[in-house]
Structure 1
């Protein structure tokens, strides 16, 4: 008897259902916000997306701190994630009042403000964050995996997102896949 495998559509629908159930049941970091039926779905989903972006920013900071030689390469991607976080933040949400964390320090030209910025260490990773590999290539691969995983989760959450938020999540997910590619490609290599 041949084995019947589930279709891609049924797998995505099931994953979207699980993600939606987790969001609505309060299984996220902001359990009280996600469980409050008075708060619109759009806002709950935005809050979750903002927290996920903040965790990704922490991973970028931890990687740049562990591998200062990668800081310049990571800076534009990190800035993009910070812009995504800001775009996802809703004006009514508590996280919107927080500004995006500053980018990791870059080698700066000697100046009063530049040397002070270069001396400031990036924000430490969250206590639950995975440790950064001591090997730069492995650290980049782990960061790419985090980008890819978040992009895939955002793609799945599109099924339950209201129109404008769905479009934003789709754009941010696409950027996450590009970031994953850029993190694992060789800089300067020709296609």
Structure 2
């Protein structure tokens, strides 16, 4: 009796086809209608790194503003802020200096992925003021961490290999920061 293939594709064939389609999309360099370098002459990876550094610096400014408005939270924010400063340094192109704000609140903007995705950077908007209640201030900071984490996750699709791994790692760290900022320290689960 001759063998007849099943009427539907096997899981292996579906996975192979999906992997092939994803690989083909990556190889064709989908750029959503933009030139590969965005018409700026600056390589995509460098632009993405510079945007990631700027976004991390803006987040550092938000940490500083929150700690200045609520000194009782400074101890809780210090290790998270140090981690964000390390992210800024990690994204910095080799040999470039990273401006890490230290303790002085200044106007900043909430993180935006428009420039990270290859668009042009927009002027910074003033950050919303730090809420008067400590719990609300932590929630606002957690929201900023969450937004930046989501932006970096989206940016993974267009990032070159090593930068994509770094974006993934930092996005995961940002998600953890958001959780830590909104959890109650010392509480039992």
- Aligned equivalents of 1:99, 1:57: Cα separation in 2: 10
Per-residue deviation at 1:138? 0.5
Answer whether contact 2:65 2:130 (CA < 8 A) is retained.
yes
- Aligned equivalents of 1:99, 1:143: Cα separation in 2: 20
Q: Higher Cα Rg: structure 1 or 2?
A: 2
Runs of 4+ with deviation above 4 angstroms: none
Corresponding residue for residue 26 of structure 2: none
Answer whether contact 2:53 2:98 (CA < 8 A) is retained.
no
Q: Relative to 1, partners in 2 of residues 1:184 and 1:128: Cα closer, same or farther, differing over 3 Å?
A: same
TM-score using structure 2 length: 0.69
Per-residue deviation at 1:37? 3.3
* 1:12-23 superposed matches below 5 A: none
Unaligned runs of 5+ in 2: 1-30, 109-124
TM-score using structure 1 length: 0.68
Per-residue deviation at 1:74? 0.3
* 1:1-191 superposed matches below 5 A: 36-91=39-94, 96-102=96-102, 104=103, 122-126=104-108, 128-191=126-189
Bigger share in helix: 1
- Aligned equivalents of 2:173, 2:188: Cα separation in 1: 21
- Aligned equivalents of 1:175, 1:51: Cα separation in 2: 17
- Aligned equivalents of 2:128, 2:77: Cα separation in 1: 18
